Amino acid sequence: MTLATKPSFFSELQRRHVYKVGAMYAVAGWLLVQVITQVFPIYEIDTHVQRMFVGVIVAGFPVALVLAWLFDLTPQGIVRTEALPANGETPSTQRAQRGTDRKLNYVLAALLLLALGYVVAERAVLKTANNESVQTAGAKDQSIAVLPLATVGSDDKDSYLGDGISGELLTALSKLRGLKVIGRASSFQFRGRDVDAAKVGKALNVRSLLSGTVQRAGDELRITVELVDTASGQQLWSQQYDRSFKNLFALEDDISSEVSKALAVKLGAAEGQALVEVATDNPHAHDLVLRANLMIQRSDEASLNEAAVLLNQAIAEDPNYAEAWAALGRTYISLADAYRAPNDLLPAMKGAAEKAVALDPNLAEARAVLGEVLLNYVRDYSAARPELERAVALNPGLASAHDSLATYQFEIQHDAAAARSEEQVAEKLDPLNPWYAYWEMTNAIALGDFPGAENLAERVRQLDPKFFYRSDPLVLAYAAEGRWQNCTDRAAAAAAEGQASPDFAAAICYAHVGDTAHARTILQRLQAAAQTGYADHSNIAAVRVALGDKDGAFTDLEQAYRDRSAPLMSVWSLPWFMPLHGDPRYPALLDRIGAGATAAMSP
């Protein structure tokens, strides 16, 4: 005879499925809470209502356990749980128990899989969102714009000083690895003492803003600077300095170092690293360079000639001033093709660039200038490429260096896609500079991306409504695509806006719509300019092609080659020269261009 044993409390909890019901309720309740906290805010449901639902779910847990004790899930439905007889379970009870166990196991497994899937998906989404937010925040946090210092209490003749000092600070900060420094053309558009930091931050996509004032009394300077977080408007650092002009380089290094320290958590700048070297011991030479740098930013011939005079005076004061030599080389490049025949300026521009590199081999701007001279005018391509690559390596934050490298990729490698990518890097560094958008437009034309070229032309005009380089940018884009009527309409509108320079692309369009008289008038103006001063003969050749004068076009292309015209280097990419492609003189010209300085020039 077997003695009957009374089931224990814990065995009863198991038999009545209290454990499983508790686990199921906990998982299902957790999932429901996640849904409430994620979905309710989307529909702006009050937080009190959310708390109420969560409270009900939590309070229902003990109720679910009690109900699991009192009732059982059977094939016939939910029934009141009966106590086992003292002698154990009956066969029918065992069968019912096994059926209920299977159902509860299925439900619990489904809930656990659902919860696991939710956790995995949530982690994946959060990881992606966090990565994106870190990348976005990082790109913005590690960025700064340097605004021109406002001159106060000084004569107008000292107005150049604020721009000059800010320009040198900008150059110094661009040496910091990991810091995006917005270029001068973009940041210097925001002037004045009441600039809205948030608006500047949004326009330039930067997190930090350096601004301030400068006051001069003889050789004494008082400079006040502040660093502001554009997102919060919080002042991160500020300082006032009273120094003499002869110690300006040391002062600029102090300011740059303090900015580096204020952003050190983001930049990881090397402690004690000099960001501003003493470029000259002659304060007068330094002052002349600051004055010249203001003139270089202007594109008119008179300002560029004045810059050249000032820089030559600075070099006379200090012949070992590398920055002055590099700036002089840059000035000659700006004058070439636009106002002077490059061949006439070549000895002076090449000499200035080489002298700058010899004096300071680590000066990125000097390397970039020398690379441009070797590429476009000396046509020594094998020597040009390492100079341009070295300039980018020395200072990745120098937008003009990326632009120069893009020119090599476009003109010599005929890789318009790579050139376009490099121009986009320059644009990010100097987003309000119309030149980089203009050069990217020429890349887009070479790639046959005419809608992209048109959009870039519109951007150039937005950045500078008066922008004109050989042609109106939109006229150029329309001409490349062969939208002749749109082209002539835009040319007429540009003329009405006061655009005085003869537009060679407009002449091409007038020729294609049958208005040859108008095209010839522009051609005559270009030819007259070539007689009295300088006009690029590759532009004249393009108009001759449109008018059906192939022989005349080749004559002008030969002259452009002798002049060492830089635009001639892009002749392979320009749609308006396609009628020449079948002429044997065309590939012969391209071969000579590609051969560089060693090519023989036919008389």
Q: How big is the chain by its Cα radius of gyration, in Å?
A: 37
Contact yes or no for 454/445 (Cβ under 8 A): no
Task: Tell me, yes or no, whether 304 lies in a domain.
Answer: no
Domain end position, chosen among 230, 247, 267: 267
Give residue 445's identity as a one-letter amino acid code: I
Mean pLDDT of all residues in 482-492: 96
- Quote the mean pLDDT of the chain: 83
Q: Are residues 160 and 213 in the same domain?
A: yes
Q: Are residues 104 and 156 in the same domain?
A: no
In the block, residue with structure tokens 């529909």 = 43
Bigger pLDDT: 28 or 481? Answer: 481
Domain end position, chosen among 81, 114, 135: 135
Q: Are residues 567 and 514 in the same domain?
A: yes
Q: Are residues 601 and 478 in the same domain?
A: yes
Domain end position, chosen among 219, 246, 267: 267
Strands in 427-538 per DSSP E: none
Give residue 365's identity as a one-letter amino acid code: E
**Calculated CA dihedral for residues 82, 85, 86, 87, nearest 10 degrees:** -140
pLDDT digits (tens, 9 = 90+) for 539-587: 999 999 999 999 999 999 999 999 999 999 999 999 999 999 999 999 9
Q: Are residues 129 and 146 in the same domain?
A: no
Local confidence band at 128 (pLDDT 50, 70, 90 cut-offs)? very low
Q: Are residues 168 and 130 in the same domain?
A: no
Task: Tell me, yes or no, whether 337 lies in a domain.
Answer: no
| Structure letter (DSSP) for residue 249 | H
Report the DSSP pairing between strands 235-244 and 143-146.
unpaired
**Structure-token pair, residue 175:** 């040496």
Q: Answer whether 0.85 is exceeded by the pTM.
A: no
Task: Tell me, yes or no, whether 34 lies in a domain.
Answer: yes
Q: Are residues 79 and 174 in the same domain?
A: no
| Distances 289 to 170, 191, 279, 585 between C-alpha atoms, Å | 16, 21, 11, 46
Task: Tell me, yes or no, whether 431 lies in a domain.
Answer: no
Task: Tell me, yes or no, whether 178 lies in a domain.
Answer: yes
Task: Tell me, yes or no, whether 40 lies in a domain.
Answer: yes
Residue 326 has pLDDT above 60, yes or no: yes
Q: Are residues 89 and 214 in the same domain?
A: no
- State the total domains in the chain: 3
Bigger pLDDT: 72 or 125? Answer: 72
The rounded distance, in Å, linking the Cα atoms of 329 and 10 is 92
Q: Are residues 170 and 255 in the same domain?
A: yes
* Domain boundaries, position 242: 142-267
Mean pLDDT of all residues in 333-353: 93
Q: Are residues 226 and 124 in the same domain?
A: no
Report the DSSP pairing between strands 143-146 and 208-217.
parallel
Task: Tell me, yes or no, whether 564 lies in a domain.
Answer: yes
Tell me the backbone φ, ψ of residue 210, rounded to 5 degrees: -110, 125
Q: Mean pLDDT lowest for which of 66-70, 209-213, 227-231, 496-500?
A: 66-70
Contact yes or no for 401/417 (Cβ under 8 A): no
Three-state SS sequence of 37-74 = HHHCCCCCCCHHHHHHHHHHHHHHHHHHHHHHHHEEEE
Residue 189 has pLDDT above 50, yes or no: yes
Q: Are residues 475 and 601 in the same domain?
A: yes
Local confidence band at 127 (pLDDT 50, 70, 90 cut-offs)? very low
Q: Are residues 131 and 176 in the same domain?
A: no
**Structure-token pair, residue 334:** 């700006």
| Distances 408 to 199, 238, 411, 473, 562 between C-alpha atoms, Å | 36, 42, 5, 22, 20
Task: Tell me, yes or no, whether 358 lies in a domain.
Answer: no
pLDDT digits (tens, 9 = 90+) for 384-396: 999 999 999 999 9
Q: Could you tell me the end-to-end alpha-carbon distance of the chain, in angstroms, rounded to an integer?
A: 130
